[in-house]
Chains A and B, each alone.
Chain A
Amino acid sequence: DIVMTQSPFSLAVSEGEMVTINCKSSQSLLSSGNQKNYLAWYQQKPGQSPKLLIYYASTRQSGVPDRFIGSGSGTDFTLTISDVQAEDLADYYCLQHYSSPLTFGSGTKLEIK
Chain B
Amino acid sequence: EVQLVETGGGLVRPGSSLKLSCATSGFTFSNTWMNWVRQAPGKGLEWVALIKDKYSNYEANYAESVKGRFTISRDDSKSRVYLQMNTLRDQDTATYYCTRWYPGPFAYWGQGTLVTVSS
Contacts and interface: CB of A to CB of B under 8 A. Distances in A.
Interface residues of B, number: 21
Contacts of B45: 42, 44, 50, 93, 95, 104, 107
Contacts, number: 59
A49 interface: yes
Contacts of B105: 40, 52, 55, 95, 97, 102
Nearest to B62: A101
Contacts of B104: 40, 52, 55-56, 59, 61
Range for the number of chain A residues in contact with chain B? 20 to 34
Nearest to A97: B105
Given A49-B111, A56-B104, A100-B50, A106 B44 contact: yes
Contacts of B103: 55, 61-62
A106 B44 CA distance: 6
Contacts of A97: 105
Contacts of A40: 104-106
Interface of A: 1, 40, 42, 44, 49-52, 55-56, 59, 61-62, 93, 95, 97, 100-107
19 contacts: A1-B64, A40-B104, A40-B106, A42-B45, A49-B97, A49-B109, A49-B111, A50-B45, A52-B108, A62-B103, A95-B45, A95-B106, A101-B62, A101-B64, A102-B47, A102-B105, A104-B46, A105-B44, A107-B44
